[in-house]
Structure 1
Amino acid sequence: MTDTPGWSSPDQQPNQPPQQQPPQPPPGYYAPPPAGPQPTIKPGVIPLRPLAVGEIVDGAITTMRRYPKLIIGAAAVVAAITQVLGLLVQLPFLDDVVDVATLDPNTVTQEQALEQFTGAITGILTGGLLSVVLVLFGTVFLSGFVTVIVGHAVLGRPVTFAQAWEEFKPRLLPLLGATLLSGLVITVGLVLCIVPGVWLWVLFGLVTPALVLERCGVGTAFGRSKNLVNGAWWRTFGILLLAAVISWVISWIISLPFGLAGAVSTGLSGDPTAALSAGSLVLSTIGAIIASTITLPFTSAVTVLVYVDRRMRAEGMDIELQRAAGHGGI
């Protein structure tokens, strides 16, 4: 993938062997152009031309179906590790939360109530922060790993876990830094006002595929994403939002039975602390693992295909990809 000229940015100069010039026709001879529309070249999961929205979504689903062991397998392992560790991190703080929820103000002093409340809040924040860190690491790994696989899938090339990991491994730490930086910038934008945060989320939405596929630096990846999104912000926003909505619906459908099972396991109790029982949390965690196994790689694949579509539209990358796939281009 990365040794082909198809993924190089326009500013990069990939090392290519000199191409032999084709023989020139004799004077006065001109070959007539081929009649009719040119056939669509589709060596992999998408046609190598600017894509419609439906083709981007279909390409993401097709990639997951064509590489199920790599994508679904990796997503299941990552989701299981992050969700289970997150549950284990939060379990020690459940007693404090339950104590505060069942606190009787008539039996404790104001100082005791404040002490218990402060301890519970500290525990919740600590557990939540550790869970977020775990999910962040898992999401960064999975998004970069899926990006490599989609890069192969676009060209219709087989790839193994070892090959994908070997290509992605040097990009893991830069991708982690880029994710933290973009998260910080977007969060500041959301705090100041929701609109700047959403604008920045879309503007830097293509940082991951640019950094992984082009093998550029963090700052360059941000610039590449900005340049590709400029002039197509609303279209990019619509596609990313559509992917997020689809993922939310899938997650809700999968998590619903586990939430109902958790409610049944507590005897449909009206006690608000029943939802914090270990059994209910375990069932919720199982539902989250299954949902994340499907939604995380789907959104990552959609993002990569949006990046590919923007490069084909703005930079004519479809020609390079056709050549990389073994076609002469059009």
Structure 2
Amino acid sequence: MSPNMELAKPRDFGEIISDTFTFIKENFKPLLKYFFIFCGLFLIFSAASMILIEIKAFNFYDSSYDPNAFDDSNAFSRVFSMIGGLLVYAVFMVLQYVALNVTVFCFMTLYRQKQNTLPTTEEMWGYIKYYYLKILGSNILLYILLIIGFMFCLVPGIYLSPIFALVTPIMIAENTSFGYAFNQSFKLIKDNWWSTFGVFVVIYIVLYVINLIVSVPSMILGAGNVFLHLTKNSQALSLPISIITTLLQSVSYFFHMLMVVAVGVVYFSLTEMKEGTGLMERINQFGTNEPTPGPEPEEY
């Protein structure tokens, strides 16, 4: 049996991409397990809010052809309700995105700390409940900065995107503040911006193709749902189709883990290249290892 993948080592462009897929392949079952445990609640809420939005949209469409049910005040209330639903959905999507990032980066951090072995559910929960609100607040601030950057001819936003992506893994892996992680992300990516950006572009293209393939059934069902609303007996099937379409889209969100793992691999690679922390840890262990054979005591 081959040993588990070492996270803390320098990598070139191709090795980062290949090791991203290798890490997911070696740890697919535990990653899938923790995805549903720690992100499942947000998936349910975001899916439920999207289903409600679709129902309201179809009801609004149907009522627009009913002169007895459609008036200006009713239309205003329906539009306002749909906007409110979209805002609720956006909030749950942000919470879901942060949960995914925190889950994956906590998993990778514990995996490295435990010398390339799997973390337990209790260890994962301890890390996630400690970091989630910290990462949520820092991500909201980063979103605002990115929006401002994209408003200035897109270039600042594009430049800052790979740098800001490293803030979350730095905060979790090094248990540090947002300010330190913010400054450290610029130091780590110095002289490596183009290679890091190239990795994220390649992973994004792969992720886009995967999502496109997975979303084909959703698009077919969505088109069928719209077509059914043009028929007389559409209400019986519109809700089940909306539920199935939304569930397919929610499950496909798991594949976004590909980008998160790529960010983690980039972080550990850049850290090893710049600081050599993994090498120093291995050197320090030479003088502490027991000469007698046997299993090492478990570390917490």
TM-based fold match above 0.5: yes
| TM score, norm. by length of structure 2 | 0.79
Cα distance, 1:211 vs. partner? 0.2
Counterpart residue number, 2:141: 181
- Confirm or deny that 1:224 pairs with 2:178: no
**Greater mean alpha carbon deviation, residues 311-320 or residues 89-98:** 89-98
Say whether residues 1:145 and 2:81 are aligned partners.
no
Q: Per the alignment, do residues 107 and 226 of structure 1 end up closer, same or farther by CA in structure 2, a change over 3 Å counting?
A: same
Distance verdict in 2 for CA 1:123–1:195, change over 3 Å = farther
Q: Does the aligned pair in 1 maintain the 2:138–2:178 contact within 8 Å?
A: yes
1:133 paired with 2:91, answer yes
Distance 1:77 1:161, change over 3 A: closer
Look up the match of 1:55. 15
Residues 96-107 of structure 1: pairs in structure 2 closer than 5 A: 96-102=56-62, 107=67
Residue 209 (structure 1) shift: 0.6
Q: Deviations over 1:63-86 (max 9, x none)?
A: 333333431112234554333322
Count of residues in Structure 1 that have an aligned counterpart in Structure 2:
281
Q: 1:121 and 2:51 equivalent? A: no
Q: Secondary structure at the match of 2:155?
A: helix
Structure (1/2) with the larger helix percentage:
2
TM-score relative to the length of structure 1: 0.73
Which residue pairs with 2:294 in the alignment?
A: none
2:71 to 112, 115, 118: 112
- Quick check: 2:20–2:262 contact (8 Å CA) kept in 1? yes
Cα pair distance change 1:193/1:279, threshold 3 Å: farther
Q: What letter corresponds to residue 89 of structure 1 in structure 2?
A: S
Kindly provide the CA deviation profile for residues 220-256 of structure 1, in whole angstroms up to 9, marking residues without a partner as x.
1111112112222221111122222222211121121
| 2:264 counterpart residue number | 304
Supply the AA of the counterpart residue of 1:291: S
Deviations 1:38-93, CA, capped at 9 Å, x for gaps: xxxx9642475321233223323333333334311122345543333223334445
The alpha-carbon distance between structure 1 residues 136 and 262, as it changes in their structure 2 partners (threshold 3 A), is same
Look up the match of 1:251: 211
Matches within 5 A, 1:1-330: 44-46=4-6, 48-78=8-38, 80-94=40-54, 96-102=56-62, 107=67, 112-113=71-72, 115-154=73-112, 155-264=115-224, 266=225, 268-269=227-228, 271=230, 277-293=238-254, 295-323=255-283
Indicate the SS of the match to 2:71: helix
Q: Say if 1:322 and 1:92 are closer, same or farther in 2 by CA, change over 3 A.
A: same
Corresponding position of 1:23: none
CA displacement, residues 246-284 of structure 1 (integer Å, 9 cap, x when unaligned): 2221112112123324445x4955849x89932232122
- Aligned AA for 1:290? V
| Matching residue's letter, 1:281 | S
Structure 1: distance between partners of 2:135 and 2:226? 45
Contact 1:83–1:285, Cα closer than 8 Å, also in 2:
no
One-letter amino acid of the structure 1 residue matched with residue 103 of structure 2: F
Structure number with greater Rg is 1
Q: 1:315 to 1:260 in 2, by over 3 A?
A: same
2: CA distance, partners of 1:296 / 1:97: 27
Using a 3 Å threshold, how does the CA distance of structure 1 residues 106 and 129 change in structure 2: closer, same or farther? closer
Q: CA, structure 1 residues 91+148, in 2 after alignment: closer, same or farther (shift >3 Å)?
A: closer
Task: Give the superposition deviation at 1:303.
Answer: 0.5
**Partner secondary structure for residue 10 of structure 2:** coil
Which amino acid letter does the alignment assign opposite residue 245 of structure 2?
S
SS at 2:5 equivalent: coil
1:277 match: secondary structure: helix
Q: State the superposition RMSD in angstroms.
A: 3.3
User: Structure 1 residues 100 and 172 mapped into 2: Cα distance closer, same or farther (>3 Å)?
Assistant: closer
1:196 CA drift (Å): 1.6
Structure 1 pair 160–47 and aligned structure 2 pair: CA distance change class (3 A): closer
Structure 1 gap segments, 5+ residues each: 1-41
Structure 1 runs, 4 residues or longer, greater than 6 Å off = none
The 8 Å contact of residues 243 and 299 in structure 1, kept in 2 or not, is answered as yes
